[in-house]
Chains A and B, each alone.
Chain A
Amino acid sequence: MKVNGEIVTLTEPVSLKEFLEKSGYSTGRIAVERNGDIVPKQTYDAIMLTEADTLEIVHFVGGG
């Protein structure tokens, strides 16, 4: 699987939600694109990741 341009190997079946939590992302501060499409937040739990997936995870930081 590719995450933000880096190769990541999946060792066990994992949902997008679990993957994001294990990677330390705060789900209220991110946007995720999977294979070129934005992923609606309410579907994070239902999406099972595969080796063929490409994820772009944008983490927003405060200030403006």
Chain B
Amino acid sequence: MITKKDYDAMLIERHGQQVFDTLAKAHVGIAGLGGLGSNIAMMLARSGVGHLLLIDFDRVEPSNLNRQHYMVSHLGIPKSEALKDLILQANPFIHLDTRCMRITGENAPKLFKDCDLVCEAFDKPEAKAELVNSLLENCPGLPILSGSGMAGYGSSNTIRTEKVMKNLYLCGDRVSDIESVGTLMAPRVQICAAHEANMALRLLLGITEV
């Protein structure tokens, strides 16, 4: 077993005291815990982000196993619970607030009001647009990171991070959708998730350029 003191010492040795302290007090919201959200959450937890709010209404099913972080043992249980199980194996000392519920444009501002930033990690384009519009309208100053365009197995190098609006950062190739490409595969979904996670870390550490 590892103690909190040992775990913190490991992170401080890696990151330095200042980065450790900043990340440890950070609150990040993740909306949707599928291919993007489950991977973003794991990366931020391993990086030492202190508080994660994880929300998804869905349960783990076999079609998730090709790209989402879940295991066969999680089939049938809520993604929020499965992800909690996985994260605590990698970082037992993180503060997790997990909710199994549907996020709407209406409830999103209240759900995410205490977050330093929010990662949009939905699947459907209408849901992405509804969440992003709601947060940009109702939560001035709250940075939003969104994923758009990561289907298929096209070049890794077309996936990028762009600051497209005052408080909106977009990660993806912006065109490859499930409807036209027909498939979602682990590598490009995880590349896109990593773009969101890295931009989240940069923003938390005070860097706003992409």
Contacts and interface: CB of A to CB of B under 8 A. Distances in A.
Given A31-B165, A31-B168, A36-B166, A60 B128 contact: yes
Contacts of B35: 63-64
A63 B129 contact: no
A40 B189 contact: no
B148 A61 contact: yes
A56 interface: yes
A8 B47 CA distance: 44
Contacts of A28: 125-126, 129
Interface stretch (B15-23, B75-83, B93-101, B171-179): B171-179
A64 B176 CA distance: 11
B166 A64 contact: no
Contacts of B121: 64
SS class of chain B's interface: helix, strand, loop or mixed? mixed
Given A29-B125, A63-B178, A63-B184, A38 B137 contact: yes
B189 A63 contact: yes
A61 B120 CA distance: 13
A31 B133 contact: yes
Contacts, number: 87
Nearest to A29: B125
SS class of chain A's interface: helix, strand, loop or mixed? mixed
Interface size class of A (residues with CB under 8 A): 10 to 19
B132 A60 contact: yes
A33 interface: yes
Contact of B147 (A31, A36, A64): A64
A60 B150 contact: no
Given A38-B133, A38-B137, A60 B168 contact: no
Contacts of A58: 132, 146, 148, 164-165, 168, 170
7 contacts: A28-B126, A33-B165, A38-B165, A56-B165, A61-B148, A64-B32, A64-B121
